[in-house]
Structure 1
Amino acid sequence: MFKKNKLLVLPLLIVSPLASAADVLVITAPNSKDPYTAITTSSATKNDTEILKLPQTVNVVTKTQIENRAAETVVDALRYTPGVVTEYRGDSNRNDEVFSRGFDYANKVLDGISFGGNASSSMGTTEPWFLDRIEMIKGPASVQYGQISPGGVIAMTSKKPTTQRINKIQLRAGNRNKTEGFFDLGGKLTDDGNVLYRLNGLAKKKDTQVRDYEEEKYAIAPAITFLNENTSFTLLTYLQNAPKNGYRNFLPKLGTLESTPEGKIPQDFNISNPDYNVSKQKQRSIGYEFEHNFSDRISLVQKARYAEIDEKYNYLVFNTLADNAKNYPYVLKRMAQHEKTKLNTFGVDTHLNFYIDSKGVSQTLLAGIDYKWTKEDKQFWRDRSGNYDIDWRNPQYQPIDTSKQTLSTDQLQKSNQIGIYIQDQVEWNNWNLLASTRYDWVKVRTTDRTINNQSQQNDGKLTGLIGLLYSFDNGISPYISYSTSFEPNLATNRKPESKPFDPKTAKQTEVGIKYLTPDQNTLATLSLYHIEQKNIPKYDSELGYMTLIGKGESKGIEAQINSKLTDKFAMTGAYSYTKTKVLETANSAEKGKQFPRIPKNMMSVWGQYQENTGMLDGFKAGAGVRYIGSSKAGADNGFSVPGVTLYDAMIGYDLAHVSPSLKGATIQLNVNNLMDKHYVSSCGMSDACFYGIGRTGTVTFDYAW
């Protein structure tokens, strides 16, 4: 049945970008009224929608916020977003990974197309320099994007060609030998403005918090847009090479969270061997965005992208503390391992927009179809001989015998997904209704080459969202919504000869209230939600394979305010309370327990002052505080990780006020974790703890002309 459907559907997915047209499109750079108060979203409904009229939570991080906080990664940029757990691994991370509303990992979408692999995959990174904004769509969002974690979606928007001329370079330097360079060029290629371009690039290098590990990355993103009377076609390409892609490992609770008679494990301790470390990643993609307006009432949008991610890593991973009375707890047992992964993905989304206005009722009707293909080829070698013990007090790195490594994983997994969806946004008087539904067909074929076995699973699911909002004339908008999601369970290390797991499914009920001031300078949101997910998989180390723990839930409160209080002062504030619980599980000791690594309480405030008159004209300063509450560790909640309060600061100056010849030049200093707080960011269990990121300082020089 799937093959027949695919043959019928695929011809509808590709639409020629050479369609005829009638009126000229004009493309300009994104320019919201205030950079701290984004009042629209383009990702939550796949068209521009006022946040005030949307019956669900969307948190927007604007380009200005990214720049003012000198965010190095997408994860950094989300630090001040309610309900989002960032940097749970501290500096031990090679991908953009966050938890949202208690669930891992929030899926990633770039320009409307899934990024980073299958459901729950977290492969790959996207540099903030290449983005115009980051939106966090909260809760189950399968109706928009198919296979989705119930916690939410990170929706990223690339910088695109514009008619506005752009010439900008940026240089950065900081501690840990940080040196970085960026450029952003764009504008018209033809006098009539029918051909536009954008060229972004970067080169960056720094030491990680861990000794003998570096991060080094080079990336470039050329883009070109063709306009032809009511039709636009943008070609987007991206090349990224990270010959040194950072660090990822674990440490024990005893020595990090708890002190030993000889203190704690140094924050920069490298548990791997410096001469064995390999950490490489390459990313490549090519795609396009096509839009054609048949009239002012009907438009067609199609987006597509093909992408590749190649990764190779060699390292020794921490296993457990050595059971030796004399050296306990200073000797750590390690396993040498080597892994290679190649991910190929293709996605295409096509939808029609119909704008209807009749008898006081305004409607935006969207109907579409999307297709996603994924191929993941993975090999994993490991040496379990236990010959690589190391004493963290005086580390001696033994040579690695690669001949003892055995191939434990050799897997090829291919998946195909087709989804059809329809969405209706209805506005009548002060009422706003959002109703949408979607059906997905998913086929996954897995080849385990270690045992010459092939399996196939077919999943299909109907998901939806319905929400109602009333917008009072005074700017207050209460709402209620209900949404569902699903993810195929792709775990292959199940009980031998067992059937594939049923897909994970989730449902959410959310109520909330939003407020936008008449001048649109302040947007405040408050939401209460309840998410319930079934068929959650979990690896059982005693059994040696995956099991389904059954059902879990997350209940919470999220509040956020973005405001420009005066012409000189702007601020963001966020608070979240997240209560998770295992509702059903085969292990009675885990029932009723919280999800590990999820803080119940998180709070953040960022304030920024900018002077535009007098002797300090051109000066700006900002400060932020982030509180990350305590979290549980282990499936049985055997111990807790204490909360921590971190401080960030920024000062900057427009150098044009020093000399007219420096017009367009600015300088900015950012310091994160200002007090250099040493802390444990989270523990999954007693043998999987992570140090938080220490103090980082960055000086940024910008020049635009």
Structure 2
Amino acid sequence: MTALLSGTAMVTPALAQDATYLGRIQLENSGSASRTEGEGTASIGPVTDSVVPNSAGGALLGDVPLVNTPVSVSVVTNTQIEEQGAQSVAEALRYTPGVFSEYRGTSNLHDETQLRGFGSRTFVPKALDGMSFGRSSLGQLDPYYLQSVEVIKGPNSIAFGQVTPGGLINMTSKRPTDDQGNELVLTFGSDDYKGIATDLQGNLDADGDLRYRVVASLWDKTLQGDFGQSRLLLAPSLTWEIGDSTELTVYALYQNEPEAGQRGFMPYLGTMEPTNNGIWIDPDFVSYAPDFDTVERETWALGYEATHGLANGWSLTHMLRYSSIDLFHSQLGLWDSSDDGAGNYPLYLFESTDYAEELTARVSLDGEVVTGALTHNLTFGVDYLNSDVESTYARDDGSTYTYNFADMISPTNAQIAALTLDAYTSETHSELSQTGIFAQDRVEWGNWDLLMGLRYDWATTRISETYAASWGGGTSDDTYEAEALTGRVGLSYEFANGVVPYFSYSTSFEPVTELDDDGDASYDPTTARQWEAGVKWASADGKILLSAAYFDIQKKNIVESYLDEMNNPVTDQIGSVRSKGIELEAKAELMDNLTVIASYFNTDATYETGDYAGNTFYAIPTEQASVWVQYGFTEGVDGSLGVRYVGPSWNYETNDFQVPSYTLVDAGLSVDLGVIAPEAEGVKAAVTVQNLTDERYVTSCVREYCWLGEGRNWSLRLSYDW
């Protein structure tokens, strides 16, 4: 660290009558210092040709350099996604501290992610371009469509409303830019992977006031037998500069997955230990009935973003998006994690449908006010979310068919058709309506930054359920009202050598959608608070970003069930859990031919109340570490090597057993053919391999149901830029 700091440009605070650029400091005539883009400094905004990010619009209400953001934010750029060969958002986050994105192993239909110890019961929410996307974790977007993936850590509700205490993921889509470049990509890989993708953009008029971009991708692969995955993505967008002060972007997204993958369970025996007949389950196993299992998903989105600059230097922004996700899932699943002593596991048939619609909107007013030596960067706004999800679920009684991993004989479609889906049937309609108002002031005074923000939300959740007679019959219709005031405050100071220590406090809320013992929907929202202290440093040229943070998160008002003194079951809102630990992250382009990404995470995540007080959260690794190095052997030829360590985790609140730690190795090699042969200008070839040593490992267990991690897989990417 010392060597790196001593080799960077020094930033010296001063007051001057004329504007003077010194690194990230621009000194105004008013005598106040405001950080902006200066000479030798990376521009604020998305970086497309580097793994080192410089800003994250989702972290604060507006683009602020990451080094001056008093909260922990990790950004995965599209360059990192491409160079590491990630084929999902979950895979893109493998080298991000505090994130456990593949706890279900190969069974990852929804990019289910855990942040800072939270997410195993309530999914970490996802946002697209700053607004909610994919409620109930249904949505999964192709990473080729994304410009970056931001991980905003901790309970920060101010910009997004309802969030889990661990944080949320904000995905940024590709939009029209001033670049005129085009790209065509062919990809081949393991599991018979075949894909083609293109990214086209340019101007539709001579002045460049009307710009377009079209992102498209088509791929498929085989998982097991006739069971596979396939996806078609088409995402056009258009930006129109209307005069000197108004810009309008209209965009659409269509993603069709006739084979969306799978989401199943495996037993403890066969994964953690051999089955009773001595079988270890093959990591390539994903389905008990590959000829039958079906998962289909279709995603639509249409929206716009309009920005108008006012005469006084303020700007008004309006965003609106409608999206829908239609998911059908039919599968033969594992009924019980225990076999009959001879390796025969009972299976059950289930079928589910989910249709989710979301309407999101936001209006915000941004501007700057200077009061003496203080510069106030102000944001005021209101946002609205309406989410409507209709779901059905049916299953049989789970005693009709068994599966033995020794013979691996799946039932025929005729046998499955004979099963009856009437043992459990439900229909659920869940509608969330939420309105929030927010205000934020980022105050700059010399090298000091003070961030203050408040938000107030009104949320109404209505859940209607109908049960078949086989499940007791009847209907229920419950409405849950919640209001909450949340906020955050952060303070940072930038020293002359660029080191920025900071301290912050933030809060969040989540409505409780459970009935109390009297059958009333009267619980208060679940709340969380976080204390965080850290330090960041960025080089003046934007090629190195280092951060370290200590966090302490407490989640309160958790609903817990227990037995009272008379041994009667009682449900009460008394529970609290706590997660505290450290995070370290480094992203650096140390030389023209050397890039390093490194991270470390350690947490103490425990239950503070109830029967499990003192126990560790389940399915949460208490320690993670990773390092990825890319080295240019010669001009146009780069090699990469990565190592990921995931520490042990517990299986449930009871902490019955631990899932052992594992270490994985990734590698890659890329060649710019245009450097070797001028006639091949614009053509690049890259091979990436994940889990190079083909390590067999269990990602996590819940009770005695477990998931195996993905074995060795590779991909060959051929791209042409023009």
Q: Which of residues 527, 534, 541 is equivalent to 2:549?
A: 527
Q: What is the CA–CA distance in structure 2 between the aligned matches of 1:439 and 1:29, rounded to whole Å?
A: 29
Q: What is the CA–CA distance in structure 2 between the aligned matches of 1:435 and 1:270, rounded to whole Å?
A: 48
Match for residue 507 of structure 1? Answer: 529
2:496 is the alignment partner of 1:473: yes
Q: What is the CA–CA distance in structure 2 between the aligned matches of 1:425 and 1:31, rounded to whole Å?
A: 21
2:87 is the alignment partner of 1:72: yes
Q: Which of residues 606, 621, 627 is equivalent to 2:628?
A: 606
Match for residue 519 of structure 2? Answer: 497
2:172 is the alignment partner of 1:168: no
Amino acid at match of 1:452: T
Q: Which of residues 399, 403, 419 is equivalent to 1:386?
A: 399
Match for residue 20 of structure 2? Answer: none
Match for residue 236 of structure 2? Answer: 222
Match for residue 288 of structure 1? Answer: 304
CA contact (8 A) 2:46 2:148 kept: no
CA contact (8 A) 2:301 2:324 kept: yes
SS in structure 2 at match of 1:40: coil
Identity percentage of aligned residues: 34
Match for residue 696 of structure 1? Answer: 713
Deviation at 1:507, TM superposition (A): 0.5
2:447 is the alignment partner of 1:447: no
Amino acid at match of 2:129: D
Q: What is the CA–CA distance in structure 1 between the aligned matches of 2:328 and 2:210, rounded to whole Å?
A: 39
2:589 is the alignment partner of 1:571: no
2:268 is the alignment partner of 1:245: no
Q: Which of residues 655, 674, 691 is equivalent to 1:656?
A: 674
Deviates more, 1:690-699 or 1:602-611: 602-611
Match for residue 339 of structure 1? Answer: 352
SS in structure 2 at match of 1:403: coil
Q: What is the CA–CA distance in structure 2 between the aligned matches of 1:58 and 1:703, rounded to whole Å?
A: 32
SS in structure 2 at match of 1:661: helix
CA contact (8 A) 1:38 1:62 kept: yes
For residues 626-664 of structure 1, the C-alpha deviation after alignment (integer angstroms, 9 at most, x for no partner) is 000111112110000110010001101111123222110
Amino acid at match of 1:222: P
Q: What is the CA–CA distance in structure 2 between the aligned matches of 1:101 and 1:380, rounded to whole Å?
A: 32
Match for residue 426 of structure 1? Answer: 443
In structure 2, do the counterparts of structure 1 residues 624 and 471 end up closer, same or farther at CA, with 3 Å as the change threshold? same
Deviation at 1:258, TM superposition (A): 1.3
SS in structure 2 at match of 1:519: coil
SS in structure 1 at match of 2:387: strand
Match for residue 636 of structure 2? Answer: 618
Amino acid at match of 1:302: H
CA contact (8 A) 2:672 2:684 kept: yes
In structure 2, do the counterparts of structure 1 residues 211 and 591 end up closer, same or farther at CA, with 3 Å as the change threshold? farther
Q: Which of residues 101, 117, 129 is equivalent to 1:102?
A: 117
Q: What is the CA–CA distance in structure 1 between the aligned matches of 2:559 and 2:250, rounded to whole Å?
A: 39
Q: What is the CA–CA distance in structure 2 between the aligned matches of 1:691 and 1:404, rounded to whole Å?
A: 29
Match for residue 311 of structure 1? Answer: 327
Q: What is the CA–CA distance in structure 2 between the aligned matches of 1:363 and 1:290, rounded to whole Å?
A: 24
Match for residue 87 of structure 1? Answer: 102
For residues 18-64 of structure 1, the C-alpha deviation after alignment (integer angstroms, 9 at most, x for no partner) is xxxxxxxxxx9966497132122211112110112111111111111
Q: What is the CA–CA distance in structure 2 between the aligned matches of 1:142 and 1:321, rounded to whole Å?
A: 38
Amino acid at match of 1:413: S
In structure 2, do the counterparts of structure 1 residues 305 and 402 end up closer, same or farther at CA, with 3 Å as the change threshold? farther
SS in structure 2 at match of 1:129: helix
CA contact (8 A) 2:394 2:421 kept: no
Q: What is the CA–CA distance in structure 2 between the aligned matches of 1:495 and 1:92, rounded to whole Å?
A: 36
Q: What is the CA–CA distance in structure 2 between the aligned matches of 1:175 and 1:626, rounded to whole Å?
A: 21
2:291 is the alignment partner of 1:269: no
- Which structure 2 residues correspond to residues 668-687 of structure 1 after superposition, within 5 A? 668-686=686-704
Q: Which of residues 472, 475, 480 is equivalent to 1:457?
A: 480
Q: What is the CA–CA distance in structure 1 between the aligned matches of 2:74 and 2:300, rounded to whole Å?
A: 28
CA contact (8 A) 2:101 2:111 kept: no
In structure 2, do the counterparts of structure 1 residues 560 and 385 end up closer, same or farther at CA, with 3 Å as the change threshold? closer
Amino acid at match of 2:124: A
SS in structure 1 at match of 2:60: coil
Deviation at 1:491, TM superposition (A): 4.9
Match for residue 20 of structure 1? Answer: none
Deviates more, 1:425-434 or 1:211-220: 211-220
Q: Which 4+ stretches in 1 moved above 4 angstroms?
A: 28-31, 537-540, 543-549
2:656 is the alignment partner of 1:643: no
- Provide TM-score, normalisation by structure 2: 0.88
For residues 494-538 of structure 1, the C-alpha deviation after alignment (integer angstroms, 9 at most, x for no partner) is 868353543221110001111122333211100000000123357
Deviation at 1:244, TM superposition (A): 0.3
CA contact (8 A) 2:45 2:56 kept: no
Amino acid at match of 1:552: V
Gaps of 5+ in 2: 1-42, 468-473, 563-567
SS in structure 2 at match of 1:657: helix
CA contact (8 A) 2:284 2:711 kept: no
Deviation at 1:211, TM superposition (A): 4.7
CA contact (8 A) 2:349 2:398 kept: no
Q: What is the CA–CA distance in structure 1 between the aligned matches of 2:284 and 2:71, rounded to whole Å?
A: 42
Q: What is the CA–CA distance in structure 2 between the aligned matches of 1:81 and 1:691, rounded to whole Å?
A: 21
CA contact (8 A) 2:560 2:575 kept: no
Amino acid at match of 2:536: K
Q: What is the CA–CA distance in structure 1 between the aligned matches of 2:666 and 2:561, rounded to whole Å?
A: 37
Match for residue 17 of structure 2? Answer: none
SS in structure 2 at match of 1:389: strand
SS in structure 2 at match of 1:67: helix
Deviation at 1:96, TM superposition (A): 1.6
- Which structure 2 residues correspond to residues 147-186 of structure 1 after superposition, within 5 A? 147-186=162-201
Match for residue 34 of structure 2? Answer: none
Amino acid at match of 1:629: G
CA contact (8 A) 1:647 1:673 kept: yes
Deviates more, 1:262-271 or 1:518-527: 262-271
Deviation at 1:584, TM superposition (A): 1.2
For residues 463-514 of structure 1, the C-alpha deviation after alignment (integer angstroms, 9 at most, x for no partner) is 000011111111111111110001112357x868353543221110001111
CA contact (8 A) 1:211 1:268 kept: no
In structure 2, do the counterparts of structure 1 residues 598 and 489 end up closer, same or farther at CA, with 3 Å as the change threshold? same
CA contact (8 A) 1:297 1:356 kept: no
Amino acid at match of 2:427: D
Q: What is the CA–CA distance in structure 2 between the aligned matches of 1:186 and 1:311, rounded to whole Å?
A: 31
Residues matched between the structures, number? 660
Match for residue 488 of structure 1? Answer: 511
In structure 2, do the counterparts of structure 1 residues 666 and 198 end up closer, same or farther at CA, with 3 Å as the change threshold? same
Deviates more, 1:441-450 or 1:595-604: 441-450
CA contact (8 A) 2:267 2:338 kept: no
